[in-house]
Chain A
Amino acid sequence: MTDTAAMTVPSPAQAWVNSGAGFWPSSLAVARRTVRKFVRTPQLLVLATVQSAIFLVIFRYIFGGAITVEGLPYVNFLVPGFVTAAVLYSGMGAAAGVAEDLQQGLFDRLRSLPIPRASVMAGRCLADTALVTWSLVVGAALGFAVGYRMEGSVAAGLAAFGLCVLFSFAFEWLFITIGLVAGNAQAAQGISVLVTPLTFVSSAFVPVESMPGWLQPFAEHQPLTPMVNAVRGLAGGPQAQALLDHSTAYYVGLSLIWTTAIVVVFGLVAAWRFSRS
């Protein structure tokens, strides 16, 4: 640090008025920052992958032996559920990230800039969706590695993957809302972990029919179950579809309705919290 260097003060480049960036450029700039933060924190990347691998291996080889699904090898039942549930596991980090941005004043700075305020939230959501998508790719690859074989067409498999990306976009709004409401990163982390039971009380890892009767209505009607069923039906082909009570199209439709509802509700709550906080 040199104090003595002569300072040249640049003349104002423009006549004091900053037009500000539009919605998309601002969203992309904000998104880029979140992605950079993630990529430059290698612990996060490695940890997420290792956790996900351990989880899969435990279910595939340890619990898997004790769980029977009629008409389908367990690995073929498990992997679509695992990838869909990974939407929540990988997505929940956003809650703590958002709480941190809020706490550390970064959001204040962004809100004082001449950009549409919605772009801050949109950028955050885009980036987090991109990060989750990356972990879905890793999760799917791990799934194939432990023996998953897709019976559906490649197009159907890609559609299933696309659905997962859509679900993660929706759930990011939930996690962003948690981050905005929680007050600090630890609380945000704590609250978002509460969604974990949602993945177990669903058709992700075990058939709903194997659960006690009083639990089945919840498992049947919570959003994750139609999402898992849609993904399983698309990727798993006729074998997997035979397990479902309704057609794959039914579950795809239902999961899209849930997706829309989650985006609308939590998108609005997040926008409201962000603009007033």
Chain B
Amino acid sequence: MTPILQARGLTKRFGRTQALAGLDLVVRPGRVAALLGPNGAGKTTVVRAVATLLRPDQGALSVAGIDALRHPAQVRQLIGLAGQYAAVEPAMTGRENLEMVGRLFGLKHKRARAAAIAVLDQLQLTEDADRLVRTYSGGLRRRLDLGVSLVGTPRLLLLDEPTAGLDPASRGQLWDAIRQLVASGTDVLLTTQYLDEADQLAADIVIIDHGQVIAAGTPAELKTLAGDDVLEVHVRDAEALPGAATVLSTVGRDLRVDLATHRASVAVDGTHRLLEAVRALDHLGVPVEDISLRRATLDEVFLTLTGASTDLIDSSTDPEAA
């Protein structure tokens, strides 16, 4: 099956910044792929290249088998783009925005009108359809923006940080809308800094940093990447943390200590390590509040893969951070 999107060795430099450094990417049809990475990782540059808004310096890029560098106009017939900004006209109503873009997609007057009605219905915007967009809330505007990218029923939908800056309720609504699209057969490539968003929506996650793919796979595959399991110790007093850390470092690797929450954790390769740790802690007399063995979270995967990027962790726990 032809990949809906295939990139090989993409590079792009903006002045001194190497936005893409030989990026390879394959998105299979029928799957939602998420590009996950911190600010400046190159996510938006990938989307802009696929949307034919910028030309990579080097590399090959094809959408549904069409060479995007040689035939950008054909690629534009297949894609829909909803960006970081809600690019809708505030001085027009929701319906007018949809009809305008429908016309631009090449629909005749009646078809454009029908497409607008269908999208309004699909995204539950009918109630607000005839209000000027400048009276919309942020979440509503973003949903309309998503709708505008749908009036042409694109084959590949590009969503660049679709929920950045939205409140949790609006995020949830947008997620539902995206899931509906996927169910209807639209292929989606989305970028996000939110690990939970990638986890929620995507079948395949591609983690990028410094313009390169550093890991790819299903959420489950990625979670096993960081180490088989995570052994975490929670102590009551901060003074006990160094002792706990010393013990953990003898039973596992990638020691992580969080002073704020009094937790230390390591990646371990089997359940027997739990017993080793408990024995050693007991032997040294470290007062333990709680000890657990669990699967790695995507946060931990990300930290393992990128070294450190607290930026990403912050934004995954606090949607307002972006």
Q: State A110–B89 Cα separation when bound (angstroms).
A: 12
Interface segment out of the listed B97-105, B191-199, B200-208, B243-251:
B97-105
Interface segment out of the listed A35-43, A151-159, A180-188:
A35-43
Assess whether A21 is in contact with B85, with CB atoms less than 8 Å apart: no
Assess whether A114 is in contact with B106, with CB atoms less than 8 Å apart: yes
Is there a chain B Cβ closer than 8 Å to A17's Cβ? Answer: yes
Assess whether B52 is in contact with A112, with CB atoms less than 8 Å apart: yes
Assess whether A36 is in contact with B92, with CB atoms less than 8 Å apart: yes
Q: State A2–B79 Cα separation when bound (angstroms).
A: 29
Interface segment out of the listed A5-13, A193-201, A254-262:
A5-13
Assess whether A8 is in contact with B81, with CB atoms less than 8 Å apart: no
Assess whether B104 is in contact with A16, with CB atoms less than 8 Å apart: no
Assess whether B87 is in contact with A20, with CB atoms less than 8 Å apart: no
Assess whether B91 is in contact with A37, with CB atoms less than 8 Å apart: yes
Q: State A12–B105 Cα separation when bound (angstroms).
A: 14
Q: State A16–B88 Cα separation when bound (angstroms).
A: 23
With contacts A7-B180, A20-B77, A114-B77 taken as known, whether A108 is within 8 angstroms of B104 at the C-beta atoms is no
- Measured CB to CB, the closest approach of chain B to A105, in angstroms, equals 4
Contacts of A8 in B (CB 8 A): 121-122
Is there a chain A Cβ closer than 8 Å to B304's Cβ? Answer: no
Q: State A13–B186 Cα separation when bound (angstroms).
A: 13
Interface flags for B112-156 (1: CB within 8 Å of A; 0: not) read: 001100110110100100001000000010000000110011110
Assess whether A104 is in contact with B87, with CB atoms less than 8 Å apart: yes
Contacts of B119 in A (CB 8 A): 10
Q: State A3–B174 Cα separation when bound (angstroms).
A: 11
> Considering only CB atoms, which chain B residue lies closest to A40 in the complex?
B91
Assess whether B83 is in contact with A108, with CB atoms less than 8 Å apart: yes
Q: State A12–B151 Cα separation when bound (angstroms).
A: 10
Q: State A16–B80 Cα separation when bound (angstroms).
A: 11
Interface segment out of the listed A24-32, A68-76, A82-90:
A24-32
Q: State A10–B140 Cα separation when bound (angstroms).
A: 20
Is there a chain B Cβ closer than 8 Å to A33's Cβ? Answer: yes
Assess whether A113 is in contact with B76, with CB atoms less than 8 Å apart: yes
8 Å CB contact of B51 from A14, A19, A112:
A112
Is there a chain A Cβ closer than 8 Å to B53's Cβ? Answer: yes
Q: State A29–B100 Cα separation when bound (angstroms).
A: 6
Say which size band chain A's interface belongs to. Answer: 35 or more
Is there a chain B Cβ closer than 8 Å to A106's Cβ? Answer: yes
Assess whether B153 is in contact with A29, with CB atoms less than 8 Å apart: no
With contacts A9-B122, A17-B78, A37-B91 taken as known, whether A110 is within 8 angstroms of B104 at the C-beta atoms is yes
- Measured CB to CB, the closest approach of chain B to A193, in angstroms, equals 24
Assess whether A36 is in contact with B105, with CB atoms less than 8 Å apart: no
Contacts of A40 in B (CB 8 A): 91-92, 132
Is there a chain B Cβ closer than 8 Å to A115's Cβ? Answer: yes
Assess whether B183 is in contact with A9, with CB atoms less than 8 Å apart: yes
Assess whether B124 is in contact with A106, with CB atoms less than 8 Å apart: no
With contacts A8-B121, A37-B89, A106-B87 taken as known, whether A32 is within 8 angstroms of B76 at the C-beta atoms is no
Contacts of A13 in B (CB 8 A): 107, 111, 114-115, 118, 153
> Considering only CB atoms, which chain A residue lies closest to B170 in the complex?
A1
8 Å CB contact of B124 from A2, A10, A17, A33:
A2
With contacts A16-B78, A26-B104, A113-B105 taken as known, whether A105 is within 8 angstroms of B118 at the C-beta atoms is no
Contacts of A2 in B (CB 8 A): 124
Q: State A115–B153 Cα separation when bound (angstroms).
A: 16
Assess whether A18 is in contact with B103, with CB atoms less than 8 Å apart: no
Is there a chain A Cβ closer than 8 Å to B173's Cβ? Answer: yes
Assess whether A108 is in contact with B53, with CB atoms less than 8 Å apart: yes
8 Å CB contact of B77 from A3, A5, A19, A41:
A19
Q: State A18–B83 Cα separation when bound (angstroms).
A: 20
Assess whether A112 is in contact with B89, with CB atoms less than 8 Å apart: no
Contacts of B311 in A (CB 8 A): none
> Considering only CB atoms, which chain B residue lies closest to A104 in the complex?
B85
* 7 residue pairs from A and B, CB less than 8 Å apart: A1-B173, A7-B124, A11-B184, A12-B153, A16-B78, A108-B51, A112-B80
Binding site for B on A (CB under 8 A): 1-3, 5, 7-14, 16-21, 25-26, 29-30, 32-33, 36-37, 40-41, 104-106, 108-115
- Seed contacts A7-B121, A10-B118, A33-B100; 10 additional CB < 8 Å A-B pairs: A9-B184, A17-B155, A18-B105, A21-B105, A29-B100, A36-B96, A40-B91, A109-B101, A112-B51, A114-B105
